Structures are given as structure tokens and as C-alpha cells.
Amino acid sequence: MTVKELKEQLEYYDDDAEVTFEVCDTFEPDSITEDKWGNRYVYLGAKVKPCFIGTNLGNMYIQLDRVR
């Protein structure tokens, strides 16, 4: 999926919805940082692709799988 296709898919969801990402593979992230508001930023150092995009309890849910 390209970035353009992902953006088009995300247009269907509420702008105020929380977004949850789940990585469907086992590998250690290169770094995890948290800002003063509690937002976490994870650098995976690997290519991933969305394998599922949907909703869960009214929020956006995206499953990511590693590109091999």
C-alpha cells in the first residue's frame, strides 16, 4: 500500500479518533521516546505494511506486518 492509498483510506475515519497500531511480528524497536503529553514515538528500523485497517471501540485500529 502506498502512502497515498493509506491517506485515502484514513479519510473515512473521524479526525478525533484515537489510533492504535499493532505490529504482527516479533522484533525489537530501535528506539522509543515519549513527549511531555504522553505520546509515544517508536522507531522500528524495518519496513512494515498495513495488513488490516478498521475500527475498535470507535477508534481506528491498524495492524502492521513486516515486509520481508
What does the pLDDT read at residue 35?
93
Determine if the pTM surpasses 0.85: no
pLDDT, tens digit only, all 68 positions of the chain: 666 777 777 776 667 778 888 888 787 888 999 999 998 888 877 788 888 888 888 888 888 888 87
What does the pLDDT read at residue 36?
94
C-alpha angle 44-63-45 in degrees, rounded to nearest 5: 10
